Amino acid sequence: MKKYYLFLLVFLFFNQFSYCQHKEAIDTGSVKEGDVDLALIYFPVINKNIFGLNFNIVGFPNKFWGTGLSLNISTRNLDTSYQRNIKKPSVTYGEVGWINEFRPINTHRLSVAVSLVNGLSFAALEDRSIRVGKGYKDVVDNYYYLFEPGIDFAFKISKTVAIIIKDEYRFIVGYSHFAKNSDFSSNIFSLGIRVYAGTNH
């Protein structure tokens, strides 16, 4: 599976620049379509599968290519404190990324896209026994560069709403102050709703 995503990553990087420079792909007008995704995500963090939330907002200058913002957030309790004085250890994982989507298929009933997210992510080791404001005490943080190639299918139930299924793989690069980089690199499955606005679909 990782070889598949590495191939997809290389393919998207090259096409991201060549496709966007192609004369027919450049639209001199404004964004013709936008869509907003809200999805439940399921993926492993530190050897345990957990749920989180994904929010994407993407604008499409033409019907084949779009770009925008991607956000993920999740949290879970931990069985280890990583040799720190923590009574109730937990981890909160989040990411903020720039997403590019390429849609080879976009009909009135089905949309298929390959995507690439580049961005930053963090993993915060917290103590849930100590409240700080509206959250918990932050003990130590990991920060990473991430890239996530993936594919998504949108099954349109109306002109403005679709059910989405996504499969992505997260690669991260950085230094971990707790856990390991591999504890945060994983396959991500998403199920959610997409809302369209505009005229490309």
The dihedral region occupied by 79, where left means phi > 0, alpha psi between -120 and 50, and beta the remainder, is alpha
124-173 pLDDT, tens digit per residue, is 999 999 999 888 999 999 999 999 999 999 999 998 999 999 999 999 99
Q: Where are the domains of the chain?
A: 2-22+34-198
How far is the C-alpha of 22 from the C-alpha of 137, rounded, in Å? Answer: 50
Q: The CATH number of 2-22+34-198 is which of 3.20.20.140, 1.20.1250.20, 2.40.160.20, 3.40.50.2300? A: 2.40.160.20
Q: What is the pTM of this model?
A: 0.81
Instruction: List C-alpha distances in Å: 13 to 4, 117, 160.
Output: 14, 11, 30
Read off the tokens for 113: 């896209």
Which amino acid, 80?
T
